[in-house]
Copies of this chain bind each other. A is one copy, B any other.
Amino acid sequence: MTTFDADLGDIVGNELHKHGVTVACGRTLERIEPRSDGSLRVVGSGGLDEPADVVLVAVGVRPDNDLARGAGVRVNDRGAIVVDRRMATGIDRVWAAGDCVHTHHVLLDTPTYLPLGTTAHKQGRIAGINAVGGDASFAGSCGTQAVKVFDLVAARTGLRDIEAAAAGYDPFSTTVDVDDHKAYYPGATKIVIRTTGDRRSGRLLGVQMIGAYGAEISKRIDIAAAALHAGASVEYLNDLDLSYTPPLSSPWDPVQVGAQAWDRSWRVHSRH
């Protein structure tokens, strides 16, 4: 879970262990061999030697840019096609969108590479509008992601400390452990929320959240994503008129409890 802070990734690791999954990180896969019974043997560094019925190899995404380069379209050092916010390539009437292009990011000055389905759909819509004579501009990604792992959901949006610092922000984060809904109503579960903001400006930079499937983690992260698109401060989250009913939230939604913890810490810090 390299797109989450390591300690939050551990929560996901624990969920995998709990369901009988062996997690072996930091190994180099050396070979996959057929075995006499038709199954597979996976061998790697550190003594990795596991039988398998199916091997899924997930090694990331690389833009297939042959067609683009052949047409004289510029690609960046990762091989991603360089486009402007209108998804124009610089060659007349040639537009590009999706996993093959670099991505404007609402919190970064320079484009990044985020090959995600959500981004591809949005970029494709913008390219399509412009291709038929319209005038639309891609608003940008903010790195929103969600994943369900057995009974957990992990979601994030924006930048983590390490990402924000690399981009020139002065970030810090606070973490809360808060009920998804009023504890007096049955079935409440804890959500871990890490809120990241900029020390200089108070600007919201990102949120990471892990909790039970059913705790509306992924759409709670979207509240923060909507605030990032508005260029909002952390404090702004507290202004939002979010829905509340005891089985589903609290008068201050968990995402606001996270914002208040950050804000308190920031104010104390700012006084010294």
A16 within 8 A of B: no
A interface, size bucket: 35 or more
A73 within 8 A of B: no
Contact B242 A125 (CB under 8 A): no
Contact B221 A146 (CB under 8 A): no
- Total copies of the chain: 2
A240 within 8 A of B: yes
Select which of B120, B225, B230, B244 is within 8 A of A230 by beta carbon. B230
A62 within 8 A of B: no
Shortest CB distance A108–B (Å): 13
A119 within 8 A of B: yes
A190 within 8 A of B: no
Shortest CB distance A61–B (Å): 16
Q: Flag A102-114 by CB within 8 Å of B: 1 or 0 each.
A: 0000100000000
Contact A222 B248 (CB under 8 A): no
Shortest CB distance A144–B (Å): 5
- Across the interface, which residues of B come within 8 angstroms of A147, CB to CB? 245
Within 8 A of B (CB), among A204-239: 213-214, 216, 218-223, 225-230, 238-239
Main secondary structure of the interface of A (DSSP, over half): mixed
Shortest CB distance A246–B (Å): 8
A175 within 8 A of B: no
Shortest CB distance A259–B (Å): 12
Given A230-B230, A238-B125, A242-B222, is A247 in contact with B148 using a C-beta cutoff of 8 Å?
yes
Shortest CB distance A113–B (Å): 15
Contact B141 A251 (CB under 8 A): no
CA distance A214 to B147 in the complex (A): 16
CA distance A228 to B238 in the complex (A): 14
Select which of B118, B226, B227, B243 is within 8 A of A146 by beta carbon. B243
Given A214-B214, A216-B218, is A157 in contact with B241 using a C-beta cutoff of 8 Å?
yes
CA distance A94 to B225 in the complex (A): 37
Select which of B120, B219, B244, B252 is within 8 A of A251 by beta carbon. B120
Shortest CB distance A240–B (Å): 5
Contact A219 B239 (CB under 8 A): no
Contact A218 B241 (CB under 8 A): no
CA distance A123 to B141 in the complex (A): 33
19 CB < 8 A contacts A-B: A118-B252, A121-B252, A122-B238, A122-B239, A139-B241, A142-B241, A145-B243, A146-B244, A146-B248, A147-B245, A148-B247, A213-B247, A216-B218, A219-B242, A220-B222, A222-B240, A225-B241, A226-B226, A229-B241
